[in-house]
């Protein structure tokens, strides 16, 4: 059992981040008065949330995975849903990589053309302040 500060430190997030995910219904720490208490379950859920965010999943998608985990003790549906989303995400990333590669090639071409043009142009003196 951890307090919010200890949980945040252990997870490498801010207390505000923990409160945000609580407000979104992804975690539900126990309360002792006004103090939030994070169990192993909540810490595990937060690790899954953070991993999902790193992989590019939306909060809605992460919530769906977590909800499936709670209702499916065998985790069959959760794994099937995860597999579908992972495949979609892989395809998105491949498309983004293609777009990035194309943009990078175009920018490198412009850079080469610009350097070639500058090398072929006479150097123009830079004018300083008046009277200098």
DSSP state of 128: -
**pLDDT one-digit tens code per residue, 119-129:** 887 655 556 55
Decide if pLDDT at 29 tops 90. Answer: yes
- Residue 16, CA atoms < 13 Å, CB-side half-sphere: 0
**What are phi and psi for residue 27, nearest 5 degrees?**
-130, 155
Please indicate, yes or no, if residue 97 is contained in any of the structural domains: yes
CA angle 65, 68, 73 (to 5 degrees): 130
In this prediction, residue 104 has a pLDDT band, given cuts at 50, 70 and 90, of very high
Average pLDDT over residues 103-129: 81
4 and 42 part of one domain: yes
Q: What is the C-alpha R_g of the chain? A: 26
Q: Which residues pair with 31 in a beta bridge?
A: 36
pLDDT tens digit sequence for 31-87: 988 899 999 999 999 999 999 999 989 999 999 888 887 777 787 888 888 899 899
**Residue 16 domain-assigned (yes or no):** yes
So what's the pLDDT on residue 130? Answer: 57
Identify the pLDDT of residue 77.
80
What is the pLDDT, as a whole number, of residue 68? Answer: 81
pLDDT at 66: 86
Residue recorded with tokens 């983004």: 96
Residue 111 pLDDT: 93
The CATH number covering residue 35 comes to 1.10.1660.10
The answer to whether residues 31 and 80 belong to one domain is: no
Q: Are residues 49 and 76 in the same domain?
A: no
Q: In DSSP terms, which residues pair with 2 in a beta bridge?
A: 38
pLDDT at 82: 85
The CA distance from 9 to 56, in Å, is 23
At 129 the pLDDT is: 59
- Which pLDDT value is given to residue 123? 55
- How far out from the chain centre does Cα 96 lie? 15
Number of domains in the chain: 2
- The encoded tokens of residue 62 equal 């992460």
Which range of residues forms the domain containing residue 12?
A: 1-55
Q: What percent of the chain has pLDDT over 90?
A: 64
């Amino acid at each position: 059992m951890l307090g919010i500060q200890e949980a945040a430190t252990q997870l490498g997030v801010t207390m505000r981040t923990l409160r945000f995910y609580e407000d979104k219904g992804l975690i539900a720490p126990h309360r002792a008065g006004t103090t939030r208490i994070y169990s192993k379950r909540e810490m595990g859920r937060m690790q899954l949330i953070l991993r999902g965010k790193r992989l590019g999943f939306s909060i809605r998608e992460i919530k769906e995975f977590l909800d499936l985990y709670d209702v499916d003790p065998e985790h069959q549906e959760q794994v099937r849903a995860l597999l579908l989303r992972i495949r979609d995400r892989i395809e998105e990333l491949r498309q983004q990589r293609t777009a990035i590669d194309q943009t990078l090639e175009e920018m490198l071409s412009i850079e080469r053309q610009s350097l070639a043009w500058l090398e072929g142009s006479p150097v123009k003196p830079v004018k300083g302040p008046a009277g200098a």
